[in-house]
Amino acid sequence: MAYDMTPEDFRAEARGWLEANFPSVLSGKAGAMMARMDGGVLDAEMLAWKSAMGAKGWGTPTWPAQYGGGGLTAPQARVLAQEMAKVGAFNPLVHGMGVTMIGPTIMDYGTEAQKQQHLPPIIRGEVRWCVGYSEPNAGSDLASLQTKCVDVGDHWVVNGQKVWTSGAQWGDWCGTLVRTDPAAKKHEGISFLLVDMRQPSVETRPIKLIAGASPFCETFFTDTRVAKDGLLGEINKGWTVGKRLLQHERASQTGASGGGRVTPMDEIARRYLDVDGDGHLADDDARSRLTSHLMDTKAHGLTLSRAMAEAKGNAGPSNTASVLKNSATHVAQTRAELTLEVMGAQGLGWEGDAFAPEEKEAVRAWLFGKAMSIYGGSSEIQNNIISKRILGLPDTTQSA
Ligand SMILES: Cc1cc2nc3c(=O)[nH]c(=O)nc-3n(C[C@H](O)[C@H](O)[C@H](O)COP(=O)(O)OP(=O)(O)OC[C@H]3O[C@@H](n4cnc5c(N)ncnc54)[C@H](O)[C@@H]3O)c2cc1C
């Protein structure tokens, strides 16, 4: 059992398994996997890699083996990540909401039957989950949501509209917040439902983004049927379950990069800008802003490591995720801005042979980066959470 091995013994096992299972043509191609998350078709190598990781459970390395997860200890999982990085391998499952948000929340609040039903297909990467929280009049003030859910005896019936539902058009299941008691105070009449999206009463309308893609939708539930065992947690206690999912979401957004090897910013700058005889950037202003960004990146990385070290033995999600999400957002958005500036006119290409693939990617990353300070709760909402829940400052007009 991997669980009984020391991290160093485990290293040999991980290396051997990667040699046998990671297709070397995929080395360093994490970006290709991410691009294909948006409903695209995976090629044969990517499919093989995804199913190998799913079967081994190493896409969810620390999840319990009884549901098909890797069953690794945290130190073993770190060794696995190091060995994967050495060969340019990446986790083909980590970008799905099933792995980052829904699965962990089911582990926290699900019944044994819900865990048995939902965790194994998430671990194997066989189902896509989306999260239906936001509504046209309920974003930051999420507790104002109005999607109605009625108990009709042997099942629930849901009516209402969600918006910005990422991946809803490809979703098999949706974890959603609904109002089950309209008479209760707004935070108290909410429940969390697991909705099967593969029924005609669920309609999705993709919304096009400035960066070209349509990664999210308006989602309409019209007399949508949900089995009685689709309730996650207790009736009318969905706000607690919903907040936990958001902590898992924020925890998954603290890395400041999309995984795989990220070209260091100073390497990009040296490629595009003039350097002096000592190999330093000649432009004082560019050098100083780049240095400041590299220091922020380092500080974020160290804070992340410290938070992980402190959480040992109590690795549950916490409000610290709000601090880390904001700092990751700052680092990623600054990097995207600096990259475009450094590339100059080459950083403005959208298509055509005059621009290298990484130049076209830089514009898309810059545009998509704008979303980071909005999704998962905006930066201002994270600041509210930090001030109330961590610093203990007095309440504002709304509960975050
Ligand atoms: C790329 C992307 C993917 C998303 N995916 C999903 C998804 O899968 N599922 C889902 O349910 N939702 C999703 N969302 C929606 C996201 O959660 C909301 O956009 C977000 O919570 C903000 O809500 P809003 O857009 O209604 O803006 P609003 O709540 O209207 O906020 C507008 C502005 O006012 C500020 N503001 C509002 N209230 C306060 C306050 N109390 N204090 C200080 N400032 C405040 C906000 O910070 C923001 O700048 C996604 C959004 C994006 C951009």
- State which fold the 2-95 domain adopts: Butyryl-Coa Dehydrogenase, subunit A; domain 1 (1.10.540)
Atom 23, ligand 1: which residue's CA is nearest? 139
Give the mean model confidence (pLDDT) for residues 368-383: 92
Sign of CA dihedral 178, 184, 185, 187: negative
- What is the residue-averaged pLDDT of the chain? 89
Q: Which CATH superfamily is domain 129-235 in?
A: Butyryl-CoA Dehydrogenase, subunit A, domain 2 (2.40.110.10)
Cα 143 to averaged position of ligand 1 atoms, centre (Å): 13
Question: How high is the pLDDT of residue 206?
Answer: 93
Cα 58 to averaged position of ligand 1 atoms, centre (Å): 33
Give the mean model confidence (pLDDT) for residues 170-176: 96
Q: Which of 234, 249, 337, 351 is catalytic?
A: 249
Ligand 1 atom with minimal separation from the 396 CA: 41
Please confirm, yes or no, whether 249 is among the known catalytic residues.
yes
Mutate to test the pocket of ligand 1, among 375, 379, 383 (most ligand atoms within 8 A of CB): 375
The answer as to CATH 3.40.50.1980 being correct for domain 253-390 is no
Please give the span between the terminal C-alpha atoms of the chain, in angstroms, as a whole number: 43
- Dist CA 253 CA 300 (whole Å): 13
* pTM exceeding 0.85: yes
Q: How confident is the model at residue 259 (pLDDT cuts 50, 70, 90)?
A: very low
Ligand 1 atom with minimal separation from the 142 CA: 21
Atom 50, ligand 1: which residue's CA is nearest? 375
Contact between 171 and 215 (Cβ < 8 Å): no
Spatial CA neighbour of 60 closest among 83, 89, 94:
94
Q: Cβ < 6 Å from ligand 1: which residues? A: 130-134, 139-140, 164-166, 216, 371, 374-375, 377-378, 380-381, 384, 398
Ligand 1 atom with minimal separation from the 162 CA: 11
Give the mean model confidence (pLDDT) for residues 260-268: 77
Contact between 385 and 250 (Cβ < 8 Å): no
Give the mean model confidence (pLDDT) for residues 218-247: 97
How many C-alpha atoms does 59 have within 13 Å on its Cβ side? 29
> What does the pLDDT look like over 90-126, one tens digit per residue?
898 877 899 999 999 999 999 999 999 999 999 999 9
Spatial CA neighbour of 51 closest among 23, 32, 16:
23
Enumerate the domain spans of the chain. Answer: 2-95, 129-235, 253-390
